[in-house]
Amino acid sequence: MSILIDAKSRVLVQGLTGKEATFHSQRMLEYGTRLVAGVTPGKGGQLHLGLPVFNTVEEAVRAESPEVSIIFVPPLAGAEAIMEAAAAGIKLIVCITEGIPVLDMLRVKSWLKKCRASLIGPNTPGLISPGQSKVGIMPGHIHQPGPVGIISRSGTLTYEAVNQLTAAGLGQSTAVGIGGDPVVGLRFVELLEMFRTDQQTRAVVLIGEIGGQAEEEAADYLKASGYPKPVLAYVAGRTAPPGKRLGHAGAIIEGRQGSAEGKIERLREAGVKIIDNPGRIGVTTAEILSSLH
Amino acid sequence: MLIHEFQAKDFLRRLGWGVPEGSLAETVEEVKRLAGELGCPVILKAQVLAGGRGKAGGILKALRPEEAAHLANRLLGSKLVTAQTGSQGLTINKLLVEKAVSPKKELYCALAVDRRNENLVAIVSQQGGLDIEELSRFRPQLIKKIYFEPDEGLKNFQARQLAYFLELTESLVKDFVARLKLLAGFFIEKDLKLLEINPLALTEDNRLVALDARIEFDDCSLARHPEIASLRDESQENELEKRARKFGLNYIKMDGSIGCLVNGAGLAMATMDIIKHFGGQPANFLDIGGGVTEEAVSQAFELLLADTQVVSGLINIFGGIVRCDLVARGVVTAASRLSLNRPVVVRLEGTNVNEGRRILEESGLPFIFASDFEQAARLAVELSGQPR
């Protein structure tokens, strides 16, 4: 098993005929992902990469019944693309697009609640269930199927973590990039809950970052749920320069949360194994898993 | 994108908010003349794009025009170092000269994006000024927050709740509600991330006056607001950071000796963390991003070496969208242009790694190759001369 996507998942590509989408759709097809259609307004009726292209997501859904959509559109069109997919009944939307304005994302979030759709991203490398399906832009070959679930706020750092795991002889059940933007779809908590009941997953690695509250929420959830599987975490940004502050309002809204130290402390208290050296993500996970026997 | 106080106050004035009488000056003579015209005491306010100006001596009061001229002479052209500027500070090119206002009471008012609740929030406090953050922790009962949605906007009743919380007189409530609604509309229309009025003065004659204002726009939205994008003040950016932005690079100067060039913000932060872990000090944060060109990589490498504090370099690339061969070509171009005189450790992985490595090897330049992330960091730290 895996979470969110598997070999049977039928995938739509929004913005399929664009340059980046074309490149990555080819890679996804090579990986074995079941791409079933594309959407580019004005190009309906064409074939691209052997896939039927539709003008709207609604038409694509009627003709090919995709369950998942991956979005490659320009930043200012990103929010509408997500809303269109949700309105057409797509239940899992993966938005690769980087640079969507934050107010657009607030509108997206309230829209998604009405449609009961899940979003991964934006500004994410996507997700992959190795050996089954890749809905994203990560290099497929570094992955292999196995027992480790990964949830990450980062892009290339996720590849680094996967590469270390694979080198340590540990494959992955599903690796999910939740995206690096201030407002994203699914966060650590929802995905930890999915990994909790996934039979293939025996341990979960979290890759966090400074800023926001996602790690703190994860810590609270893990503590409250008595999580049954080992969880490891690396939080990037301990040495990051104190960014230009968001005035005083930031402190009033978020309190003193958001620093790497604060996140690490909260996760440690919740029983998470903290990885201090990002060069040892793979080795440490292997140690933890072998100590389970 | 942060704008200057004087720009923020222009917006406030247009939205009907009271601001102190004043004007902008770029020379000592102008300051003196304005001080005479406005009538002393006046406040001179350094226009730099950072908070913490007051504590750093960038906001000064003058009792006579001569004193204003004297202070202006000291401030204009100098660098102001605040808690938020970094050690290099920011150059003061402009002073805002304002007639001093003596408030009966100092309040606080802000609009912001609350990423935790995924909503917009309006915040007021019965007590404004410098220690607002302390206040939020120790006397939260003085602060009220109300959430609203971008498509709905701030409602009359919500603004009214805030006005009554501030204990404004009946005559001011109506004004405040109308203006706060305009402010919220402006926030949404122009894609702001933050709008803060602190302090918001209540004067003896019962007027509300915005003594200071901070407005930050969402960089991602500037493409749809060209009139806002044009407000950017490039003189307030570090030279190296400015050069980086032109090429779509994300560069932040730091104080260490190991220059880093990495793809992806997370991996770039992890690279800095691991350097520190092995006892070294990163000289910068540099993320070349995903859609980088060969020329931008060259620029990135030049930037890294332009920092004279850099003793050794570390290139850490995990190719995904970015191809290792493209990075290698960009680095070699820059290195041959510059006559590379410091050791550079290279770690390449991912898309087109073999081709990238071949290009670097065949360049004949003295790169030091590392097989993994950890080894790369150890080598770079050793070469920077900082013992573990």
pLDDT digits over A211-229, tens only? 888 999 999 999 999 999 9
Task: Give the whole-angstrom CA distance, residue A266 versus residue A217.
Answer: 9
| Domains contained in chain A, number | 2
Contact call for B269 and A210, based on CB within 8 A: yes
Q: Please answer whether residues B65 and B35 qualify as being in contact, where contact means their C-beta atoms are separated by less than 8 angstroms.
A: yes
Give residue B234's pLDDT: 85
Residue A4 is assigned to a structural domain of this protein: no
Give residue B88's pLDDT: 80
State whether A273 and A149 are in the same domain.
Answer: yes
Q: Please answer whether residues B282 and B253 qualify as being in contact, where contact means their C-beta atoms are separated by less than 8 angstroms.
A: no
Which of A74, A92, A120 terminates a domain? The answer is A120
Percent of chain B with pLDDT over 90: 78
**Structural tokens at position A102:** 């934050």
pLDDT digits over B43-91, tens only? 999 999 988 899 999 999 999 999 999 999 999 999 999 887 777 889 9
Is the pLDDT at B168 greater than 90, yes or no? Answer: yes
State whether A245 and A203 are in the same domain.
Answer: yes
- Asked if B188 is an interface residue toward chain A (Cβ–Cβ < 8 A), one would say yes
- The CA distances from residue B167 to B123, B124, B145, B195, in Å, are 15, 11, 15, 22
Please give, rounded to a whole number of angstroms, the shortest distance from the CA of A240 to a CA of chain B.
Answer: 6
State whether A178 and A83 are in the same domain.
Answer: no
CATH number for position A39: 3.40.50.720
Give residue A213's pLDDT: 87
Is the pLDDT at B388 greater than 70, yes or no? Answer: no
Range of the domain at A271: 138-290
* pLDDT tier, A244 (very low <50, low <70, confident <90, very high otherwise): very low
Give residue B138's pLDDT: 86
Q: Residue A239, SS3? A: coil
State whether A149 and A107 are in the same domain.
Answer: no
State whether A113 and A149 are in the same domain.
Answer: no
* pLDDT tier, A257 (very low <50, low <70, confident <90, very high otherwise): low
Chain B positions in Cβ-Cβ contact with residue A164 (cut-off 8 Å): 373
Give residue A35's pLDDT: 98
- Asked if B199 is an interface residue toward chain A (Cβ–Cβ < 8 A), one would say no
State whether A142 and A283 are in the same domain.
Answer: yes
Sign of the four-CA dihedral A63, A68, A72, A74: positive
- Asked if A255 is an interface residue toward chain B (Cβ–Cβ < 8 A), one would say yes
**Structural tokens at position B194:** 């933050």
ipTM rounded to 2 decimals = 0.91
Percent of chain B with pLDDT over 70: 99
Q: Please answer whether residues B132 and B115 qualify as being in contact, where contact means their C-beta atoms are separated by less than 8 angstroms.
A: no
Residue A128 is assigned to a structural domain of this protein: no
Chain B positions in Cβ-Cβ contact with residue A248 (cut-off 8 Å): 108, 110, 132-133, 196, 198
* A and B: number of Cβ contacts within 8 A: 190
State whether A92 and A150 are in the same domain.
Answer: no
Residue A126 is assigned to a structural domain of this protein: no
State whether A97 and A165 are in the same domain.
Answer: no
pLDDT digits over B323-346, tens only? 899 999 999 999 988 878 899 999
State whether A32 and A80 are in the same domain.
Answer: yes
- Candidate list A48, A143, A248, A293, residue with the active-site label: A248
DSSP letter string, B128-154 = -STTHHHHHHH-GGGEEEEEE-TTT--
